[in-house]
Amino acid sequence: MAEETNTAVATANGGAEAARSETSRAEGPRGARGPRPGGPGGREGGRKYFRRKKVCKFCVEKIESINYKDVRLLAQFVAESGKIVPRRLTGVCTPHQRRLSTAIKQARNIALLPFAGRA
Ligand SMILES: [Zn+2]
């Protein structure tokens, strides 16, 4: 818009400027990237250990409500450190894990299970 009024100045001054900038742009590093190393379809990173499908113990044994007094049962899902074993390790389904964790916490409060184990 404003360039149209002083075209003469623009060509005299900015002409060389524009040309220089254009050459420098051409010289600059462009997107000359080669093909990505290790694209899809590489070597198959097979699993070392084949784990069999884990099933929820409570679903299998049809245990609907998990009793906090059942220490034998709860202790299976408490690690030696006193922690509740995560679902991904035990295979317990989400609704049962929720009840299980509640039961474990109740059992802890009446000292049936440890808050923290040895070590
Ligand atoms: Zn379940």
Mean pLDDT of 18-23: 47
pLDDT on residue 77: 96
Going from the Cα of 98 to the center of ligand 1, the distance in angstroms, rounded, reads: 10
Residues 72, 83: Cα–Cα separation, whole Å: 16
Residues with CB under 5 A from ligand 1 (ion): 56, 58-59, 93, 96
pLDDT on residue 44: 63
Residues 80, 62: Cα–Cα separation, whole Å: 26
Mean pLDDT of 10-39: 50
Higher pLDDT, 35 or 87: 87
Going from the Cα of 42 to the center of ligand 1, the distance in angstroms, rounded, reads: 38
Going from the Cα of 109 to the center of ligand 1, the distance in angstroms, rounded, reads: 24
pLDDT on residue 52: 72
Going from the Cα of 50 to the center of ligand 1, the distance in angstroms, rounded, reads: 23
Going from the Cα of 47 to the center of ligand 1, the distance in angstroms, rounded, reads: 26
Q: Output the pTM of the full model.
A: 0.56
pLDDT, averaged across the chain: 75
- b/e per residue, 57-94, with b = 16+ CB within 10 A? bbeeeebeebebeeeebbeebbeeeeebbebeebbbbe
Q: What is the dihedral of CA 39, 43, 45, 50, to 10 degrees?
A: 140
pLDDT on residue 61: 94
- What domains can be seen in the chain, in order of their start residue? 64-109 (4.10.640.10)
> Residue 14 pLDDT more than 60?
no
What tens digit of pLDDT does each residue of 38-67 get? 555 555 666 666 667 789 999 999 998 899
Going from the Cα of 48 to the center of ligand 1, the distance in angstroms, rounded, reads: 28
Residues 32, 90: Cα–Cα separation, whole Å: 50
Going from the Cα of 94 to the center of ligand 1, the distance in angstroms, rounded, reads: 7
Sign of torsion over alpha carbons 85, 89, 94, 99? negative
